Structure 1
Amino acid sequence: MQLEAFPGKKRRGISLTPLIDVVFILLLFFMLSSDFMHWRQISLSSANETESKPDTVMLIRIENDTGELSHDGKRYALQDLPALRALVAEDPAAVYAVEAVAGVRTQTLVTVLDRLHQAGADKVSMTGVLP
């Protein structure tokens, strides 16, 4: 009787059922963890896009993170839309340059840009952050 030193190995097929289960679990995880918020775009024009220079530039400064604004020594609240509309009504064709002091969050800056656009300002621009 002769013994085989290495018995023949049978190759087993790979079952795809656990792989499909893992793929569905990952799909379910990413679907439930994704965010379905509607993101809006804010149109910003750069100085290179305009052919002629505007007559006036209105500088609006964000004083703190609560959204307190100042322009020519006057103070405006971010929530006071009628006051912002009156400011924009002074010169609707002007470029409204918004600058922020250090420590102002990006969301506050975006909210100010959006409020100025709601108030009727067509040309809104951002400037550097002040120290």
Structure 2
Amino acid sequence: MDLSEPVKRPRGESIVPMINVVFLLLIFFLMTSQLAPPEPFEVTPPEAETEAEAEADPVLFVSHEGRIAFDGQEGAQAIATLAGQQPLAGVIQLRADSRLEASKLAAILRDLSGAGLSRVELVVAHK
């Protein structure tokens, strides 16, 4: 009769360190990411044959009716808010609808110039 203690089976690997790493990565990505606010209205950019991408940070939206929106503001208040933020080198990104009339766009560009925003990058869709 064998009365010796039975051989203990080795314990499996603990997954607690892996869970800790996953939570640390989750926290890291949440802290370093920037969530983009939703667009104020649907904008279909005009098409063009270009390889350059718009790189300016503040984005001004213009609908096909000529409505202007920026950071929750609309109209002249949107331009004033945009000008108050002092974008780098005075460059802004303009997301205008392809159905916007040229005369309305010219008036908007004149208002932007009057607010001290001298450079505008127009966002276009690639053909």
Shorter-chain TM-score: what band? 0.3 to 0.5
- With the length of structure 1 as denominator, give the TM-score of the two structures: 0.44
Larger of the two Rg values belongs to structure: 1
Higher strand share: 1
- With the length of structure 2 as denominator, give the TM-score of the two structures: 0.45
Larger relative contact order (C-alpha < 8 A, sep ≥ 6)?
2
